[in-house]
Structures are given as structure tokens and as C-alpha cells.
Homo-oligomer: A and B are copies of this chain.
């Protein structure tokens, strides 16, 4: 009876009781995705989920057929019963479960200000909280950053398939079977789904040597050649059961010029320096600073963060970046990326990214992405 969803909700409820929060509302809608709904209920999204301090979970899904197959909650009420409006639904649920007046109700930290005003104006008998930090959403982010056994198992399977695909990609690029960005992206997607994965966890980025100067090229992949002289980048993730991996390969092909060699060498050095800091109890910021220091010595700087957690989202907690306000600490059970990169507008870019499980003893690298010389 105690499913993993019920266990996660029970953990949240313990926290809510300590903080005197009566109801937490989660909303997933177009433009504001909230994977915590899937985390706590199994339902993939487009829904409102209310969790009460008494341990009651009510789901209002947009797609009721899907909810009946995928969700594990106490009550499912069609969103259409409330005109598909989150505030109306919230008020209806709160009335139906008999929440006492003056209760503290926490709404999503990403609630737009105009919508926040509607909540406040509707839930007049209650105290409406909407916090980015120190509230329930920070707590959920913390909970989700530390994966349980079932999550680690599923991510390991996504990473294993990712490695299989990396090896096949290398083989097919060397043999000339994969010639274009499009070939590479299609091969990844096809192999993933054929193997029973959900697909890719985000749009694959495939940038031939003419486009790898960009961190995230637009379009993400084209019919242009990949693996021609210079630096090509492949950034992708394989999703299984809603959880995604996230890796980046750089292909260094043909005659690499000294500027490009320099980029490769620095990225490898930064990677080696940073991974030493991927240990439990270390501030993630320290890992970021270790990579920055390598680049700084060569008067370079990285235009993006060093890494991030992965899970139901391709980017989730912990943040691994150099901002002074970043106070995340590596903890056992976190699954994170390490992805130093440098980009030159003329000579292209180089990024190396792997997925790493933080363990009691240190870390375990789950993927085998690399800089491939062809």
C-alpha cells in the first residue's frame, strides 16, 4: 500500500506539519512546467495537485483518461469541473476537504504575480504563501535533488543506454554512416525509442564545426555536415520512465589548429580539476571555482554553469555554479552533470559532459562521454 509516491508525500507532509503549512498546491501548465506533480503522484503533468497536512492528495488533471492510468492519489477530479482554472480548482478542493480558516496555503513559487493576486483575492479566509526560497518549493527541490533507490536504478539504466548510443555514434561517424547533424540526432532518437526508452530528454543539440561556437545552436540540428575538420558538439539525454541523462561529446576531427587544441586541453584540465570536488559535503560552488581557475589562468571564461542535477527534469537541483549565493552542497544520492565548455566564435566550441552519482565515499561517473579524435 505504501507506494513510492505515498512515501514521498509522507516525507513532504512531515515537513509541512513542522512548518504549519496546511495545503501545498502544485501546478503544471504550458509555459510553467512542474515535474513535482509526477514526483508526488505519478501523473505526468497538465494538472493541479493538492497535498494536505493530513496526508490527503487530490489531483485535478486535464487528461482524465491518462490520470486514471498513471496517477496514484486519493482523489481525482477532472480539471474541467473547475473550468480548468487553477484558482477555481484550488478554492473548490480546499472547500471540499474542509480546511480550517486562517490556514497557511502555499502556492507554487513560480506563480506569476497577477495570478498570485487572484489566489489571494479568492482564498480570502486563508494565508497564501508564495516563496522562491525557504518555502515548500525549496524543500521539494532539496528532496528531489537526492534520488532514492528506485530513481538511481532508473537513471543508471538511462545512462547505460546513453553509453551504448555514444559508442554506436562513434562507430557510425568513423565509418561515415552518420554524416550530418540530422543523421546523428535521428540515430539517437530512433535507437532510444526502439530500445524502449521514452525518447530523448530534451531536444538533441548537434552542431557541426561551423556551428559549435554556440552553446545552444539554433536550430538545434540541421542537415549540415558533422564530424568535418574542426570541433563538432553533440549534447543529448536519454529518458526512461520520465528520468533523463544528459551528456555532451566533442568530436575533434582532422587537423585541429592550435586555438582548438588549447580549448580541448583547457576543458579536459577543468574537468579533471572539478571532479575532485564532486564529493559529499563539498559546496558545489567550489567545484565551479576549480574549473573557473583553470580557465582564468589562460584568460578564458566559461559562459555557462559547470553543471546541475538531473532527474525528472534535464536541469534541476543542485545548481553547480560560481554565484556567491549558491549554497548547494554535494550529498550522497545526488545525480549531477559536470560539463565544462569553451566557445570561440571563429574556431568553434568544445564541451565535455558526464553524469555523476555522488556516493558516501566520493562519486561514481555513470556515463562515458568523451572528446573523440577522428
Contacts and interface: CB of A to CB of B under 8 A. Distances in A.
Interface of A: 30-33, 44, 46, 62-66, 68, 70, 78, 80, 83, 109-116, 130-133, 182, 186, 189-190, 193-194, 196, 198-199, 203, 213-223, 239, 301, 303-304, 315, 323, 343, 345
Given A32-B31, A65-B214, A112-B112, A182 B194 contact: yes
A186 B182 contact: no
5 contacts: A70-B218, A109-B112, A113-B116, A114-B131, A199-B219
Nearest to A70: B218
Contact of A193 (B193, B213, B223): B223
A65 B345 contact: yes
Q: Which of A131, A221, A223 has the most CB of B within 10 A?
A: A223
A130 B114 contact: yes
Given A112-B110, A114-B131, A303-B80, A215 B63 contact: yes
Contact of A345 (B32, B68, B213): B68
A63 B112 contact: no
Contacts of A133: 114
B130 A64 contact: no
A323 B219 CA distance: 36
A218 B242 CA distance: 9
A323 B70 CA distance: 28
